[in-house]
Amino acid sequence: MADSSDGLNVVHLGLVPYAEGLRLQERLRDAVEDGRLEQTLLLLEHEPACTVGRRSGDGELAMDPAWYAERGIGIFETDRGGKVTYHAPGQLVGYPVMRVADPVAHVRAMEEAIVATLAAEGIGARSRPDEGPDFTGVWVGERKIASIGVHVRRGISTHGFAINAEMEMEPWSWIVPCGLSTPMTSTELETGRAPLLPSLRRSVATEWARRCGLREVELPESELRAALGAVPAGAA
């Protein structure tokens, strides 16, 4: 969890290419470190991408990169913990870029916030902290519904969580998610209805701020980018 009782900026970004998301996190990490911005939760969706974590091994990507590229899926090496995972529209991604005193407690707080968010959707989910690092995340029975992977450098975290909401699920069969041969699920599959992503975003932001003891403050994307000296993806 965070080591501060100050505000938590919450920024809703919409659909963001994965590489652009990485650049924003790095700029934001520097801004939090030097005090230009308070700790911030970025909430967004990504264009299709497979990301490779520090613990990834051979065989987690079942096909060669060209096969994924033909299907519009980028492959990205990252510095986050965990193994291979998949991002696409319809998945709610959260990147808490903030000061962290205890990385394990930080991950456990994410799991708790997601479990509470899903409970509000009528989904009985759980974390599995006693089963080892491969079981980090949130589960519905034996089905995984949310993935978590973080990186902490000089006491500030990047990366975060991804909740499967109303995404196309077939691409999960094209990887070994998180190094486990386990079924993946989504809020849509568990409830039989498509979630309202704006409602899901608001709920997870509130639950995350509560667990970190931070005051939730909505920050417009334009103000974030102005503070970081960043421009929207695709802009001149």
CATH number for the domain spanning 95: value is: 3.30.930.10
Whether 81 is covered by a domain: the verdict is yes
Residue 206 lies in a domain: yes
Domain membership of residue 235 (yes or no) is no
Say whether 178 is catalytic: yes
pLDDT at 236: 38
pLDDT at 84: 86
Within a domain: residue 12?
Answer: yes
- In terms of residue numbers, what domain contains 127? 7-228
Does some domain include residue 2?
Answer: no
Averaged in consecutive runs of 10 residues, what is the pLDDT profile of the chain (236 residues)?
68 96 95 92 97 72 89 88 88 97 96 97 94 89 94 94 95 75 91 86 96 94 89 51
* C-alpha span between 95 and 100 (Å, rounded): 13
Strands 91-97 and 40-46: antiparallel
**DSSP bridge pairs for 42:** 11, 95
d(CA 44, CA 19): 13
Q: What is the pLDDT of residue 4?
A: 45
Give the H/E segment covering residue 103.
helix 103-120
The pair phi, psi for residue 9, each rounded to 5°, is: -70, 135
Residue 64 counted as domain residue:
yes
Which pLDDT belongs to residue 132? 85
pTM of the model: 0.90
Instruction: Check residue 1 and give its pLDDT.
Output: 47
Burial class of residue 132, CB neighbours in 10 A (0-12, 13-18, 19+):
exposed
Please give the angle made by the CA atoms of 137, 135 and 214, to the nearest 5 degrees: 30
**Secondary structure class of 217 (helix, strand, coil):** strand
Tally the domains of the chain: 1
In-domain check, residue 233: no
- Residue 55 has a pLDDT of 62
Out of 100, 178, 204, 212, pick the active-site residue. 178
Model pLDDT, residue 5: 47
Let me know if residue 58 belongs to a domain. yes
Q: Using DSSP bridges, classify how beta strands 143-153 and 215-218 pair: parallel, antiparallel or unpaired.
A: unpaired
Q: What pLDDT does residue 65 have?
A: 87
